[in-house]
């Protein structure tokens, strides 16, 4: 047998042996997943567990040992390197399992930077113990490769690879159907990024997305409360204050606070002096889904998958329903796309109005129609009961004012594309402002202003490359342009004013629960924010997008990607040789895990 062939046989068997060793070391992951209860998803969990840890064991073989064996087929070089890589892998999984048991998050490029010095001492100890074990294992496997044997090792590798492939296909199906017992397992494994491409399955004809969404929602609503979530941390203790005030929440998608001026939003600019205006207000995300999640739940949108998977509504909406509020929910964008409020904030609302149909063209047409339908609904409601109204306007983010709507600013013909888009955006804001003006005028006509809490805000901001860094639109950066939103609140009985301290969407739910429903729980029982009337401000804020998240501080932004991170200053320029804010990031990681069991 040639040296190269023997080394390849050794590497394959050594990887299989290490997959078994990793599976033993990582049993703690399955132990914590078992707390979710018995389920057919255990079949998937077993396949994913075996397949993923096998992938971690084979990764050094594919990336380093295989090419090295081909180029330098020397046992004295290959075996020591294989032992070192395997020892590092076992040490990583062992330490990660301990970190996950303590904190419910995994090791990453960033969290490694947060480890205490003594932890690295233990990691070195794990590595040297691993070297001793792996050396004996490598020697034993090497001796067994002296004679040709049937291709059992390759068949076994094929079985293990099949586990890996099957688990990803099952997860893709489960993600498309919102089957939580399967998708919930993802956060229990380190470095695990399963397939979840519903569009691919749709193109292959394997999934009907509309039917899958409906089935997934029905399944989620039928589940018993609990599972991986521990929310709220304690039952709410509330005594609503009489008289019960109405609440109207108006969300203008992608409206920036600097657009709230007499030139671009004259009706809101006229309304604001008689209300409380929060000048340092931030969303909980740079795009619609995380922004709306933070607005209703008061929690980081990193929890979105867990709440959406179980269709767990926020305690704020639970309270509106518990205390008999009539719900008038009107959105220009379909509730089941992007924001997916049908699976989160409005989960369980009977006869939920999922979308606005309009005979008028575009987003501006739907915005006009939803305003008309809101006014009609308000006239038909039961006046003896309070109402919660939700109006979600879309023309501003779509940059689609009506075709015949007059421009609010003129731009020269030679202006850049972004300058023209910005001008068009301000025109769309002006149009939506006129619709909100109709809503406010109608409340005044019905003599409801003094009985209604009116909240006007946005889900996120929007950027037109003002920083000259190439960031445009929304969901592309965590700059102030994309994170800051207006917040104007008119509360009957409270004087108007300007609030300059830092506030966020996380503060809205605690404010309404405390001030409207008289809930005496500390906000930490159900949210990450504070009562807006408590004078508290955030020192750091967790903001999310769809794949990554950021920790925003007054002087810097730390953006955490799945496999890397970066730190930027407040002008959103990269900081060279940054100092990692260890204490802040530890606090953020704890906040993103404390509502899990």
Higher per-residue confidence, 386 vs 8? 386
SS3 327: strand
CA distance 292 to 343: 12
Average pLDDT over residues 87-114: 91
CA 172 to chain centre: 18
pTM for this structure?
0.89
Nearest alpha carbon to residue 42 among 162, 178, 188, 221: 188
Give per-residue pLDDT as tens, 200-258: 666 666 665 556 555 555 555 555 555 689 999 999 999 998 889 999 999 999 999 99
SS3 389: strand
Average pLDDT over residues 345-352: 93
pLDDT winner (highest mean) among 97-111, 202-216, 385-399: 385-399
In the beta sheet, which residues pair with residue 277?
488, 498
**Looking only at Cα atoms, what is the longest distance across the chain?**
93
**Residue 297: predicted pLDDT:** 98
Cα radius of gyration rounded to whole Å, the chain: 28
Out of 49-53, 552-556, 575-579, least confident range = 575-579
CA distance 514 to 499: 19
CA distance 571 to 566: 14
Nearest alpha carbon to residue 513 among 502, 529, 501: 529
Neighbours of 407 (CB within 10 A): 12
Contacts 24+ apart (CB under 8 A), 493-501: 494/276, 494/533, 496/273, 496/274, 496/275, 496/276, 496/277, 497/276, 497/277, 498/276, 498/277, 498/279, 499/276, 499/277, 499/278, 499/279, 499/280, 499/532, 500/279, 500/280, 501/280, 501/535, 501/537
Query: Is the alpha carbon torsion for 391, 396, 397, 400 positive or negative?
Result: positive
**Residue 216: predicted pLDDT:** 58
Residue range(s) occupied by CATH 3.40.720.10 in the chain: 246-539
With beta carbons less than 8 A apart as the criterion, state whether 276 and 490 touch.
yes
pLDDT at 61 > cutoff 90: no
With beta carbons less than 8 A apart as the criterion, state whether 567 and 575 touch.
yes
- What region, left, alpha or beta, does residue 164 occupy, with left being phi > 0 and alpha being psi -120 to 50 degrees? alpha
* Tokens of residue 434, six digits: 């006129």
Supply the mean pLDDT for the chain: 92
With beta carbons less than 8 A apart as the criterion, state whether 568 and 578 touch.
no
Give per-residue pLDDT as tens, 243-302: 899 999 999 999 999 999 999 999 999 999 999 999 999 999 999 999 999 999 999 999
pLDDT band (50, 70, 90) for residue 60: confident
Give per-residue pLDDT as tens, 128-180: 999 999 999 999 999 988 776 667 767 887 898 899 999 999 998 888 877 88
CA distance 267 to 412: 27
**Residue 44: predicted pLDDT:** 93
CA distance 345 to 339: 10
pLDDT at 9 > cutoff 90: no
**Residue 460: predicted pLDDT:** 98
**Residue 204: predicted pLDDT:** 62
Give 246-539's CATH code, choosing from 3.40.720.10, 3.30.70.360, 3.30.2320.30, 3.40.1190.20: 3.40.720.10
Neighbours of 211 (CB within 10 A): 10
The DSSP result for 223-292, as a single string, is SPS-TTB--SSS-----PPSSPPEEEEEEETT--GGG-STTT-HHHHHHGGGSEEEEEEE-SBSSHHHHH
Pair type for strands 565-569 and 556-560: antiparallel
In the beta sheet, which residues pair with residue 252?
393
**Residue 199: predicted pLDDT:** 64
**Residue 374: predicted pLDDT:** 98
């Amino acid at each position: 047998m040639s040296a190269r062939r023997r080394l390849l046989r050794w590497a394959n068997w050594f990887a299989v042996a290490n997959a078994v060793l990793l599976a033993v070391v990582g049993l703690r992951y399955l132990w914590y997943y078992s707390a979710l209860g018995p389920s057919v998803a255990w079949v998937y969990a077993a396949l994913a567990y075996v397949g993923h840890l096998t992938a971690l064991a084979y990764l050094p073989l594919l990336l380093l040992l295989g090419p090295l064996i081909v180029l330098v087929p020397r046992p004295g070089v290959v075996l020591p390197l294989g032992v070192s890589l395997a020892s590092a892998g076992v040490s990583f999984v062992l330490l990660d399992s301990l970190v996950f048991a303590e904190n419910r998050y995994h090791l990453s490029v960033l969290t490694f930077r947060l480890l205490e010095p003594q932890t690295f001492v233990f990691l070195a100890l794990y590595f040297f113990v691993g070297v001793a074990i792996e050396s004996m294992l490598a020697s034993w496997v090497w001796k067994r490769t002296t004679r040709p044997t049937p291709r059992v090792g390759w068949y076994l590798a094929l079985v293990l690879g099949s586990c890996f492939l099957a688990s990803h296909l099952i997860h893709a199906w489960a993600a498309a159907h919102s089957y939580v017992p399967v998708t919930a397992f993802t956060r229990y494994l380190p470095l695990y990024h399963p397939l979840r491409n519903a569009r691919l399955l749709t193109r292959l004809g394997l999934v009907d997305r509309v039917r899958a969404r409906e089935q997934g929602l029905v399944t989620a609503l039928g589940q018993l409360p609990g599972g991986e979530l521990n929310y709220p941390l304690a039952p709410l203790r509330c005594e609503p204050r009489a008289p019960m005030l109405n609440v109207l929440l108006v969300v203008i998608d992608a409206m920036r606070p600097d657009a709230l001026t007499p030139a671009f939003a004259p009706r809101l600019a006229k309304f604001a002096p008689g209300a409380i205006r929060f000048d340092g207000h931030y969303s909980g995300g740079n795009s619609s889904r995380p922004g709306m999640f933070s607005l209703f739940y008061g929690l980081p949108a990193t929890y979105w998958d867990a709440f959406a998977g179980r269709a767990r509504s926020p305690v704020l909406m639970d309270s509106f329903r518990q205390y008999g509020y009539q719900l008038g929910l009107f959105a220009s964008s379909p509730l089941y796309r992007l924001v997916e409020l049908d699976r989160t904030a409005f989960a369980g609302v009977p006869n939920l109005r999922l979308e606005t149909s309009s005979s008028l063209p575009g987003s501006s047409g739907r915005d006009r129609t939803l305003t008309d339908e809101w006014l009609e609904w308000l006239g038909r409601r039961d006046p003896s009961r309070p109402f919660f109204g939700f109006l979600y306007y879309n023309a501003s983010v779509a940059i689609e004012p009506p075709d015949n709507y007059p421009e609010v600013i003129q731009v020269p013909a030679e202006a850049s594309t972004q300058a023209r888009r910005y001008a068009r955006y301000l025109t769309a804001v002006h149009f939506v402002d006129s619709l909100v003006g109709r809503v406010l005028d109608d409340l005044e006509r019905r003599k409801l202003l003094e009985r209604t809490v009116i909240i006007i805000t946005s889900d996120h901001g929007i950027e037109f490359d003002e920083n000259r860094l190439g960031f445009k639109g929304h969901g592309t950066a965590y700059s102030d342009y994309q994170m800051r939103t207006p917040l104007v609140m008119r509360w009957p009985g409270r004087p108007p004013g300007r609030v300059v301290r830092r506030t966020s969407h996380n503060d809205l739910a605690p404010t309404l629960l405390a001030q409207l429903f008289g809930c005496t729980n500390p906000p930490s029982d159900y949210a990450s924010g504070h009562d807006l009337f408590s004078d508290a401000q955030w020192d750091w804020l967790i903001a999310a997008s769809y794949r990554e998240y950021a920790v925003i501080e007054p002087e810097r932004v730390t953006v955490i990607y799945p496999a890397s991170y970066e730190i930027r200053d407040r002008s959103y320029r990269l900081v060279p040789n940054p100092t990692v804010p260890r204490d802040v990031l530890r606090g953020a990681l704890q906040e993103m895990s404390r509502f899990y069991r």
